[in-house]
Amino acid sequence: MKSPVQIAAIFVIFAFSAIAHQKPPDTAEMSVCPMHAQNPSSQGQHHQGVVQRGDKVMGFSHEKTTHHFRLYPDGGAIEAEANDSKDAASRDQIRSHFEPIVTMFAAGDFSAPMLIHAQRPPGSEIMKRLRNVIDYKVESTEKGARIHIKTKDSEALRAIHEFMRFQISDHQTGDPVEVTKVP
């Protein structure tokens, strides 16, 4: 029978061996999400949880819709659209979700993103504190909806961009993390 010290030593050797053989994570993508940075091997499992929780909280399927998060010089945009232009149910579910989200965000309530991501999204606490200098507007698109988030406050703008970059990473949308022009 091995002593507790021998068992601990075997465990440490095994753990370091497993780490040495892992493919390194994409640090640019992982650095945006603190959860991924702490445990990159759980990225796939975490993303699956984001998808499952997102479907429940948002009320529409990630498989039938596409999300985009945009960074603009004055803020950003959250977009969701049905993949199929004939999918009126998904389109309407997106619109039904975005209306109350705008109201919640404007009030400083970021509980929906916290439920989806199982953590407080970076930037959301500052957005909550500076809610009086941030404007939220929802508009319908052909296949869904878009939330425009705008501010003239530099601290709020940094928080909005941080929030959007986190969303891009955690939803794995592949959207640019640089600021682009408003279309």
pLDDT score, position 79: 96
Residue-wise pLDDT tens digits, 1-45: 544 433 333 333 333 333 333 333 343 444 444 444 454 445 666
Output the pLDDT for position 62. 67
φ, ψ of residue 152 to 5 degrees: the values are -110, -5
CB 30 within 8 A of CB 37: yes
Amino acid at 7: I
7: Cβ contacts below 8 Å, ≥ 6 apart: none
Q: What is the pLDDT of residue 25?
A: 38
Is the whole-model pTM more than 0.75? no
Smallest CA-to-CA distance from 43 within 54, 59, 27, 56 is with: 27
Q: Which two tokens stand for residue 80?
A: 């969701």
Residues of the chain with pLDDT under 70: 1-62, 113-117
